[in-house]
Structure 1
């Protein structure tokens, strides 16, 4: 499916939807669940769900020996480091701006993929990347572009999140996986869950479900099933099938969906820069994910 243009657009659209709506879902959950316990719950539940799904599909739970180190590296980068950086980043700056900086990841991934994977960016990818970055700049807002309301410490944490995610993506791309992506994803969550469980225990343990409101329980369910379970597995499948440039530019849809979800679910105001950013990001995805034009064949020389 991902080898066809329609399949690429569908996969990227679903990924953007699941991850985008996760931002307001996490915002709702954080009203009653602190960040570290939230990560511990999400990572643990995600690992258990994915392992259970692997058993139901009769997949072996143990990865081959050559995949253990890439799983550890990718789990530390994609899951643990990214979430730790974003947690500290959001403590030092507004969440909306933090999310946008995190999604500069495609720029870092494209730069890293060139020396590490030999994926030299072409003209269409460069145009798409420029459109996507311009869309994120517009969404960020004029005040942020002028340097207003941006904490250097917060920006540093969020750039760390973007770079760690980009490095994790390159690790996933350069590894030849024979294990199921469900199993690989499950082990990455398990790797990230252990230190978060220890950290949560040190700061007071996990909250009781009985003490959480219905909206928070619903937000947690969405976060675990759609963002952690489905979206993360889809992401690794996309990275496996497409180039790093194609896969990472598709993630630019996520902050657009996240902002739109905040408007609908949290009552945030809809502004002109959101609409302009949406147009630029969709143009970026169209540039990179669209079908490659066929070149006309030269007539044979008699």
Structure 2
């Protein structure tokens, strides 16, 4: 009888862990699939238009969801500067950089470079927050740099600005995401719920995107969009911006930050696979080696973090 009770307790204890693993897998799959989806959208819609639509949808959905849940939408005066500056780095600059980069380079390679972010975050935290970098993390950083060197490579260097434009844009996006993450950590505890903070960040970032879209771009009317664009845009808005973001908030509340961000390991794998299958991009030896090196770097850096 005692053995049966122990087994019941173990089964109950395993359910939260199993649920968290399912959430991690879902986040990785949904955000990974967003990379080829965005590339399909960019075949019809220019980058500023895409981001204007996405940011506006994110603001409406997240703030609406918070309102339905009874969360206060008011943000204290002291949090607004931090909210704005972290939103610029983590949402505005990152999303613009990755969108423009995908117009200049293969989506599979852009996804790999973008998810060097955890490595850059470790370096920035060392510089800005005084966090110690362990020998294992230095190994991860070196592994990530080697992966970048494989992707940039002699061919990109020989092509000059034309070959380096896309990789540099997505590398800048990864650095921006890392800087925004470190600034969030520097801010410390936020008074407002995370979903409210992120919703207002989307709203602030949507304003310049809408204005710039109206001034600089003339997207084709919706009746001229291809069916693939409609499907990809639906995926991007529903699954990436809304559902995956909601799951991310849910998982952050269930796990430590270090455990939750393990989902970033899945995203470039799914992004590369999706680009190869859906976009017909070649699976070259260079891509395989770079993906393995950068995944190894992320694993070394992230799995070595203590729970927070």
Fold match (TM-score > 0.5): yes
Following superposition, the deviation at residue 249 of structure 1 comes to: 7.4
- Out of 233, 239, 254, the position equivalent to 2:267 is 254
Give 1:50 shift: 0.9
Aligned length in residues: 287
What are the superposed Cα offsets for residues 81-100 of structure 1, whole Å, 9 maximum, x if unpaired?
A: 22333344445555444444
Distance 1:233 1:76, change over 3 A: farther
* Maintained 8 Å contact 2:29/2:267: yes
2:37 maps to which residue?
25
Once the 2 structures are TM-superposed, how far is the Cα of residue 135 of structure 1 from its aligned partner?
A: 4.6
The partner residue of 1:105 within 103, 113, 117 is 117
Instruction: Tell me the alpha carbon deviations over residues 4-41 of structure 1, each in whole angstroms, 9 at most, x when there is no partner.
Output: 98787665544432222111001111122111111110
TM-superposed deviation, 1:197? 0.4
Of 192-201 and 95-104, more deviation after overlay is shown by 95-104
Whole-Å Cα distance in 1 between the matches of residues 232 and 64 of structure 2?
Answer: 22
**Alpha-carbon separation, structure 1, partners of 2:87 and 2:276:** 32
* Cα deviation code 1:36-75 (max 9, x no counterpart): 1111101101111111211221111122333211110011
Cα distance change of structure 1 residues 13 and 274 upon mapping to structure 2, 3 Å threshold: farther
| Alpha carbons of structure 1 residues 204 and 90: separation in structure 2 relative to 1, 3 Å | closer
Q: Distance in 2 between matches of 1:247 and 1:277?
A: 24
Aligned to 2:157: 147
- CA drift of 1:278 comes to 4.8
Aligned pairs for 1:59-78 (under 5 A) are: 59-78=71-90
Q: CA–CA distance in 1 between the matches of 2:139 and 2:248?
A: 23
- Counterparts of 1:134-213 in structure 2, within 5 Å, are 134-135=146-147, 137-138=149-150, 140=151, 143-144=154-155, 147-149=157-159, 151=161, 152-175=164-187, 176-204=189-217, 208-213=221-226
The answer to whether structure 1 residue 123 and structure 2 residue 138 are counterparts is no
Distance in 1 (CA, whole Å) between partners of 2:305 and 2:85 is 34
TM-score for the superposition, normalised by structure 2: 0.76
**SS in structure 2 at match of 1:197:** helix
Equivalent pair of 2:39/2:102 in contact (CA under 8 Å): no
Matched residue of 1:58: which SS?
coil
| Structure 1 length-normalised TM | 0.78
Q: Is the 8 A contact 1:106 1:166 kept in 2?
A: yes
8 A contact 2:143–2:293 mirrored in 1: yes
Aligned to 2:7: none
* Structure 1 portions without partners, runs of 5+: 294-302
